[in-house]
Amino acid sequence: MAQYSGLSRAQLTFDYLHTNSTTHEFLFGALAELVDNARDAGATKIHVYTVPKKEVRGGYLLCFLDDGEGMDPGEAASVIQFGKSSKRAVDSQMIGQYGNGLKSGSMRIGKDFILFTKKRNTKSIVFLSRTFHQEEKIEEVIVPLPSWDMDSNRPIAKSAKQQEKYLTEIDIITKYSPFKTEKEIHEQFDKIDGESGTLVIIYHMMLLDNGEPELDVNTNSVDILMANVDKDDDSVPPEKRSFRAYTAVLYIEPRMKIYINGSKVCTRRLASCLYKPKMYKYSSNRFKTRSEKEAAKAYHEAQMAEEKARDAESKARDLQNKVGPVAPKDQRVALRQAQAQAEMLRNDADIKKEVAETKKRSLKEPKVLNFVFGMNIEKRKLDGMFIYNCSRLIRMYECVGPQTEGGVNCSGVLGFVDVPYLVLEPTHNKQNFADAKEYRHLLRAMGDYLVQYWKDVGIAQQGVTKFWENFGYLSPNWKDDPSEDPKFKRKRAMQLPLTIQCDQCLKWRTLPFSASNINKEFPETWNCNMNPDTQRNRCSAAEVKQNIPQGFLKKETKSAEEKSQKLLDDITRKTKELEKLQSVKTVTSRQQVNVLVRSTRPEPARSSPSPTTSISARKSVSKPTPRLDLPPPVRQAAMRRPSQDTSAQQRRASIEERAPPQRTKSTPSSHRRDSVEASPQRQATKTSPVKRQSSAPTSTSTRADSARKDSKATPPPKAKPPPPKAAPEPKAYPAKTPPTKAPTKRTSSAASAEESESEEEVPQKKRRASSTAPAPKVPLGDKEEEEMEVTQNGVPENGTPENGVDADSEDIGKKVEAKIDGIWYSGEVVATSSKGASPVRWKVKFDKYPRDKYDKWYGMGSADLRVPPVTSASGGKITETALAPVSPGRPPQVVSPAPSASSVRSEESVPEASSTTKPDAVSSYAQTQQNYEAISAGYRTCLRYFLPPSWIMDKERIGQMSIEDLGNFPLDDFFDHYERGLRKLVSNFQSQADAKQKEADSTKAKLSNVRKLISKLLKSINEEMDIDPEAGGDEVDELLAECVRQATQD
């Protein structure tokens, strides 16, 4: 050690005293550390009391006085060594293991403490004061440790240096402790009765923000209460509010008397406080962390011992070789000593090796724990598990299994288990366990056994409410206390054994039941002589061990068919999840996000195309971009991303509006419609379309050829919508019709040019109104158009026409109703197919099934297609219009009814006299939002009505959900919980019904037996009676009634 004297050493600073104390979050846990020390010291009693002292902060001293074995000066010096403990051993039943409880616990309660201890003929003081360090501005931790001889009261200081040290220590103690003279110091030793014991005094108490001490010692003179806990809060159990209640259950087998301010604590054995207790043995190989540490430590110690033994044996052999057969006496003595030392070390190495092997084998052995459960009929609201470690309470009221769900299932059940150090190791503050994973496993196991106990006691079969009513719980509020009616108090007292601890021998005695013992307060000095049981009325009698019935966990065994079916269900579920994952395309680049934004952006309104469209407009038409499936956050971010170039978007929209026509030949009717729809403003801004006309044929033919190739490469899939439910008739809204204007005759070329230029000025709001217009379809050739076969409804056999498709027809956007399997469904025309100059087929997209695969083609004159009638005012006349139902993302649309054959013929010769009616966008959007809110309110009402008891959200939170939250609501999970709760309820009702049915059958059997006995009795009295002795029916009742009537008349 001398060779390392010049090296740097780690030092313990004064600030660590505060840091170390913060490990105690639970204040009673800090107090319990000092009670644990008294128990480990073999004390039979400990007094916890307060002494008023106005000079100190808080106004009182907190004292802990025990009659344990105490400490001598050497043992007292080890107290100030942080982390060193002589109690640490694998098979030790002592609570202290870390050598830190006294320092951390006392420093959590107050700033300073002074310890007085006696053992044999010495008495010592340990003084640890943060006030001293703060006042003297000392960074290192200095602890005065004076000692005296018990008989003469003289200091144990032989040398002059020790005398000087003693005087310095006394000066510090008298200056910073509550005791200002050496006489007062010696008076504290007189409080320790007997030859050994310890007194710990804590002062300068910790205060709350309001300046009051954290521990309330004034409200109850015989208790210590938490000052920051509301007295009326029923959610806080008494053990977390009262130190008396906490110490009553602090140990699973109390063997030490605890007094608080002179009043004895009535300690409790939990097993004796439960109704119908039952014990279950739990065996598991899971708890290995602590065992592995101990095995590794034993293996390391065995290796070190083996090395020491080999070294000693080597030295002994070497010395023997040097000495030889003839050697002086001193050399022979040294040789014998070396050989004896080597033999001793070899024996020690063999023992440690055997211990290491034993611990290694124990790793494979399962750890066995005893779970004890019982009903807390005294206060059912206090339920949960008490977890002890080496008989010391670590966790209390831990809800496990069904208790975590908040229902009545397994509520009111208390359980406890004592876990040894070899299974689980507690944390330094003894309020939790170091290995959280293994602790969670323990709680899961206790939850499984709790369910088994609930089945074994059969409370669910007889009815939970009825069970608790038998013991006086008449209030529907679960947290209410039981009735104080004498009959209920008597019933509860009869079901629980009365156990009391002898004040002399500390043995537990069970008293026979007596009505006089109900609510009786027994004296604190009760001893075995007061026991009415003659066999146990003396301390020499053995203590009767409580006999707790043992239960067994019954695991549900599944048949081979059930296992195979479960395996198939799992495979099917996993396959569906895999297919769903494979169908989702992940966005990996900014380009894909831009594509998604373009695909989700509303498309501009389209008008009838003109053959004079420019080349640049034709180039803007491209193949439809495939949509990418994004996660919801990415999708929303992409949808909300603002455009960086509004003018570029408008130019792109205007180009798309001037897309080339879908038919290779323009019809006269289309030119006439273009001329009718042109406004006077378009006539004022005419431009020459000569260049556009010269380039139109080339571009059109090129697109037609490429479209035919694409059409052959990827034929359209067959699509048939599933038979949906009947949709309600849409509500009619009055439509505002703009005034008609007289048409102006123009040439087709001039009209096309004006149409091209005027559409560049269409506002963005107007283009949003037609955001659902489909992308233009690729046209087909005339030859393919002639080869198409049409069914009686005007639809080819594969469900999709193969002739030219007109995506810019004026019929696009009409609201129609289509008939499928005899039921009418509302929809919208999204494309038309043409033969010659007039549209003959419409492609309908259904409102309820908006996916493309459900779209269907209908002939224009088919009986399965109609336009819904809606009445609206237009120019003082009543006309028939069709109103599109509200769909998410756009206001409702009003469209004209389908034109008749005569109107089509007149349209070819005479220009249109009126334009299509348009709705009021603002009022329609407001109505749409109202509809959304109404639907959302109804959805919330349904969720609140069907809310299962164990759901993660309450009714108030559901009522505050937004539309987006409702859209993401896990409805499948919700109804799964609802169904499980409903099944449990029905199962309980069924169980009650079965029990009542059994009771009724038993009563009927008893009644039948009574009737048979009556018939035999009547037959024996009067043999002339015409009655079957074995009869048990209604005739016995009639005959008995007749006999009674005759007897009363006589």
Dist. CA 550–CA 322, nearest whole Å: 69
How far apart are alpha carbons 902 and 137 in whole angstroms? 109
Look up the pTM and report it. 0.54
Q: Please give the Cα distance from 1036 to 1017 (Å, whole number).
A: 11
**Alpha carbon separation from 58 to 61, 109, 658, 659 (Å, rounded):** 8, 11, 88, 88
Neighbouring C-beta atoms of residue 927, cutoff 10 Å: 17
Contact 431, 393 (CB under 8 A): no
pLDDT of residue 124: 94
Cβ proximity of 250 and 39 under 8 Å: no
Q: Are 270 and 252 in contact (CB under 8 A)?
A: yes
Please provide the DSSP assignment of 604-659 as one string.
PP-----TT--HHHHHT--PPPPP----HHHHHHHHHPPPS-HHHHHHHHHHHHTP
Lookup result for tokens 């273009």: 674
Distance CA 123, CA 75 (A): 11
| pLDDT at res. 708 | 42
pLDDT (0 to 100) of residue 266: 93
The whole-angstrom separation of Cα 548 and Cα 276 is 9
Best CA proximity match to 851, nearest among 692, 627, 1008: 627
pLDDT tens digits for range 401-419: 999 988 889 999 999 999 9
What is the predicted pLDDT for the residue at 775? 40
Classify each residue of 474-504 as buried b or exposed e, where b means 16 or more C-beta atoms within 10 Å of its C-beta.
eeeeeeeebbeeeebbeebbeebbbbbbbbe
List the one residue out of 750, 748, 754, 755 whose CA is nearest residue 671. 748
- pLDDT, residue 1032, reads 65
- Measured distance CA(544)–CA(503) in Å, rounded: 17
Choose the weakest-confidence range: 334-343, 623-632, 775-784: 775-784
CA distances from 681 to 55, 244, 617, 685, 750 (A): 98, 94, 22, 7, 13
Query: What's residue 604's pLDDT?
Result: 52
Q: Could you give phi then psi for residue 103, rounded to 5 degrees? A: -70, -50
Q: Would you give the distance in Å from CA 939 to the centre of its chain?
A: 25
pLDDT class for 89, splitting at 50, 70, 90?
A: low
Residue 827 has pLDDT above 80, yes or no: yes
Q: Is the pLDDT of residue 115 over 90?
A: yes
Pairing of strands 45-52, 60-66: antiparallel
Cβ pair 429, 29 in contact under 8 A:
yes
Average pLDDT of span 569-594: 80
Residue 514 has pLDDT above 90, yes or no: no
HSE-CB at 970 with a 13 A cutoff on CA atoms is 8
- Model pLDDT for residues 779-824, shown as the tens digit of each residue: 334 433 333 333 333 444 344 444 455 555 677 888 888 888 878 8
- Please report which confidence band the pLDDT of residue 876 belongs to, taking 50, 70 and 90 as the band edges: very low
Mean pLDDT, residues 485-500: 91
Copy the structure tokens of residue 328. Answer: 């002086």
More confident of the two residues 459 and 1048: 459
Say yes or no to pLDDT of 495 above 80. Answer: yes
Q: Which residues pair with 806 in a beta bridge?
A: 832
Averaged confidence pLDDT in the chain: 75
Residue 816 DSSP SS3: strand
DSSP-derived letter for residue 978 is H
Q: Work out the end-to-end distance of the chain between its first and last CA atoms, rounded to an integer number of angstroms.
A: 120
Tell whether the model's pLDDT for residue 6 goes beyond 90: no
Nearest by Cα to 737 from 908, 895, 898, 561:
895
Window from 107-111, 425-429, 492-496, 733-737 with minimum mean pLDDT = 733-737
Mean pLDDT lowest among 94-98, 402-406, 557-561, 1001-1005? 94-98
In 376-467, the DSSP E strands lie at 384-389, 392-398, 413-419
Confidence of residue 578 (pLDDT cuts 50, 70, 90): confident
Helix (H) or strand (E) holding 858: strand 856-859
Task: Inform me whether the pLDDT recorded for 672 exceeds 50.
Answer: no
Instruction: Tell me: pLDDT of 151 over 80.
Output: yes
Q: For 469, how many CA atoms within 13 A lie in the half-sphere containing its CB?
A: 7
Bigger pLDDT: 550 or 1019?
550
Do residues 334 and 319 lie in contact, with contact meaning Cβ atoms separated by under 8 Å?
yes
pLDDT of residue 965: 81
Beta bridge pairs of residue 46? 66, 258
pLDDT at 413: 95
614 or 949, greater pLDDT: 949
The candidate with the shortest Cα–Cα distance to 666, out of 627, 621, 613, is 613
- Which of 912, 487, 584 is CA-nearest to residue 740? 912
Task: Please state, in angstroms and rounded to a whole number, the distance separating the CA atoms of residues 558 and 1001.
Answer: 33
Question: For residue 709, is pLDDT > 80?
Answer: no
Contacts of 498 by beta carbon, 8 Å cutoff, 6+ apart:
510, 511, 513, 517
pLDDT in tens, 260-294: 999 999 999 999 999 999 999 999 888 878 788 88
Q: Are 66 and 39 in contact (CB under 8 A)?
A: no
What is the tens place of the pLDDT at every residue in 297-309?
A: 888 989 999 999 9
